[in-house]
Amino acid sequence: MSWRRQGDEAISAGTSVVETAPVIEKSEATKSETELPWNVIVHNDPVNLMSYVTMVFQRVFGYPREKAEKHMLEVHNNGRSILWSGVRERAELYVQQLHGYLLLATIEKIV
């Protein structure tokens, strides 16, 4: 008895066949977008009090009051502030947490 795959020689019963796994190389061009740095941005809104926004920044990011107030004032005066930069997965988590506090937050890829 023999088996044959397309392009192979006949393999007889009792003959062992060793196949090697193909080598897959990761090129720089296929680098996942999740590995690139992302910014977490909070945008100004007319609803939330400045003291509330400061408290949220302290809770979500663990910022001291002074740093949280600095970012809150940047949001208030400039319309937005970059609060954190890093991997996409963590950035998405921060945005979800900020949304949970009803703040307008987005992520943006650093180019």
Q: Is 0.75 topped by the overall pTM?
A: no
What is the phi/psi pair of residue 42, to 5°? -110, 135
Predicted confidence at residue 111, as pLDDT, reads 87
Which domains, ranges and CATH numbers included, belong to the chain? 40-111 (3.30.1390.10)
pLDDT one-digit tens code per residue, 67-85: 999 999 999 999 999 999 9
The whole-angstrom separation of Cα 73 and Cα 85 is 19
Q: For residue 22, give both structure tokens.
A: 């193909």
Predicted confidence at residue 51, as pLDDT, reads 98
